[in-house]
């Protein structure tokens, strides 16, 4: 195993064990939940928005595999300071670059669950676009 890979793995484990932005915000300006039924991953995201709908604070709660929870932990810092519109168009590759390890299609869903929930929260609160790939079912995001 290369040291480079090892570094990424340790980073992911660190985010999993010590999640950043953990805990839901009350009150919040936007909130949504989602799940990945195949793995049983669940994530709820809450956001506080400032002037021009800039993301100021992110808080999440969830359970599931390390990839889903670590990716959500990393995502919080990635989107802070961005406008709702910028987050709505943030490509999943931006997050996958942060994660840094190759993922099989099954694990890819784990990794992008949090990003989808975040986009859904902004869609519900601010009407930002939500492309079909982030489709929703009964109000929450269900990746399948």
Partner 1 sequence: MAVSTKSTLDAARLRADFPVFEELVNGRPVAFLDSAASSQKPRQVLDAMVDFYEHSYANVHRGVYRLAERATAGYEGGRTKVASFLGAPSEREVIFTRSATEALNLVAYAWGLDNLGPSDVVVVTDLEHHSSFVPWQYVAGRTGAAFRAIPIDGSGELDLSALEELGNAGTIKVVAANYVSNTLGTVNPVQQIAEWAHDRGAIMVVDAAQAAPHRPIDVQALGCDFLAVSAHKMCGPSGIGALWGRRELLEEMAPFNLGGEMIRSVSMERTTWNELPYKFEAGTPAIAEAVGFGAAVDYLSEIGLDAIEAHERELVEYALGALSELPWIDTYGPPPERREGIVSLNVQGVHPHDVAQVLDWEGVAVRAGHHCTQPLMSKLGVAATVRASFYLYSIPEEVDRLVAGLHKAKQSLG
Residues contributing to the site for partner 1 (CB under 8 A): 1, 9, 13, 16, 38-40, 64-67, 106-107, 110
Name the residue nearer to partner 1 (CB basis): 2 or 52: 2
**CB 12, min distance to partner 1, A:** 10
**CB 137, min distance to partner 1, A:** 17
The span from the CA of 55 to the CA of 7, in Å, is 29
The span from the CA of 20 to the CA of 36, in Å, is 21
Q: What is the DSSP string of 37-64?
A: TTTTEEEEEEEEE-GGGBEEEEEEEEES
Name the residue nearer to partner 1 (CB basis): 12 or 115: 12
**CB 84, min distance to partner 1, A:** 31
Name the residue nearer to partner 1 (CB basis): 64 or 76: 64
Strand runs labelled E in the chain: 30-36, 41-49, 55-63, 136-137, 140-142
């Amino acid at each position: 195993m290369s040291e480079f890979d090892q570094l990424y793995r340790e980073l992911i484990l660190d985010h999993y064990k010590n999640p950043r932005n953990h805990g839901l915000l009350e009150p919040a300006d936007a909130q949504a939940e989602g799940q990945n039924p195949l793995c049983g991953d669940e994530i709820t995201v809450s956001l506080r928005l400032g002037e021009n709908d800039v993301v100021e604070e992110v808080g999440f709660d969830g359970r599931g595999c390390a990839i889903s929870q670590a990716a959500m932990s990393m995502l919080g810092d990635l989107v802070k300071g961005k406008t709702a519109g910028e987050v709505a168009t943030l490509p999943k590759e931006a997050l996958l670059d942060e994660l840094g390890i190759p993922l099989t299609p099954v694990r890819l869903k784990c990794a992008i669950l949090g990003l989808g929930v975040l986009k859904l929260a902004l869609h519900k609160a601010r009407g930002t676009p939500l492309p079909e790939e982030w489709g929703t079912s009964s109000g929450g995001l269900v990746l399948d």
